[in-house]
A = this chain, B = another copy of it.
Amino acid sequence: MTVELVKHDASDADVLFAARVSTGAATIAAATPDGLSDRDAGLINYLMRDKHGSPFEHTSMTFRVEAPIFVVREFFRHRVGFSYNEESGRYKELEPVFYVPADGRPLRQVGKPGAYTFELGTYKQFMAVSGDIRRVSQEAYSTYKRLLDLEVAREVARMVLPVNIYSSFYVTCNARSLMHFLSLRTISDAARFPSHPQQEIAMVADQMEDIFSLLMPRTWEAYQANGRVAP
């Protein structure tokens, strides 16, 4: 899973100027994080706590993500405040890059839907998983290539490819929509609003959160302090 920040126009100061237009005190705060006063940080915390979400929207972050299709599918469920462009299996030949769970990826699912826990698998399970996934991926890809060699259209040939093949996409979001995504796609056992995403999308979300915490440190702190619930 690769997450790269392509460009951004997002800082804690953006939240402040938007919030302060309400009260007319719309002085633009200093642009560096260090420039934020305690009063500024307090305002951000208040907005987060009382769910005043709109001031967080005047920000923009564009990421390039590489992830297997089963992760992309979960990601693209996020509709509001998200813009996407993805590599197309109709327009280009896909590369033979496939996701195979690493050693240490829990393989056993225990419990009921909505309350699953995961446990490490046995050695036998691990060998089966990594061997089978590799084998099926290779066979599928060589079939794909054979069909392309026969001049079958890419959009038809790709039908044999498994959902663990990597795709790549650009995604643009704002701080509010990103926090909403993070609240659902990072792993949390909080009593209030626990979230149990599949581990692989959490690997993407964690990287996005790291970048977000650097771009907008006061906003991220307030998000943490208020139970990781998006405003």
Contacts and interface: CB of A to CB of B under 8 A. Distances in A.
A174 B156 CA distance: 31
Interface of A: 6-9, 14, 17-19, 21-24, 46, 49-51, 54-55, 57-60, 62, 64, 68-70, 72-73, 76-77, 79-80, 82-92, 99, 101, 105-109, 113-114, 118, 121, 124-125, 128-129, 132-133, 135-137, 139-140, 143, 146-147, 150-164, 168-170, 172, 174, 183-184, 193-195, 198, 229
A18 B79 contact: no
A179 to B, nearest CB: 13
B163 A85 contact: no
* A-B CB proximity, top 8 nearest: A60-B60, A57-B83, A9-B9, A109-B153, A79-B79, A159-B164, A22-B88, A136-B160
A57 B172 contact: yes
Contacts of A21: 64, 85-87, 168-170
- At the interface, is chain A mostly helix, strand, loop or mixed? mixed
A204 to B, nearest CB: 15
Contact of A22 (B92, B147, B163): B92
A28 to B, nearest CB: 8
A54 B159 contact: no
Copies of this chain present in the complex amount to: 4
Nearest to A18: B85
A164 B160 contact: yes
Given A7-B14, A99-B159, 4 more contacts: A22-B91, A70-B158, A73-B76, A108-B152
Given A136-B139, A160-B137, A54 B84 contact: yes
A141 to B, nearest CB: 10
Given A114-B50, A153-B108, A155-B109, A77 B70 contact: no
A22 B136 contact: no
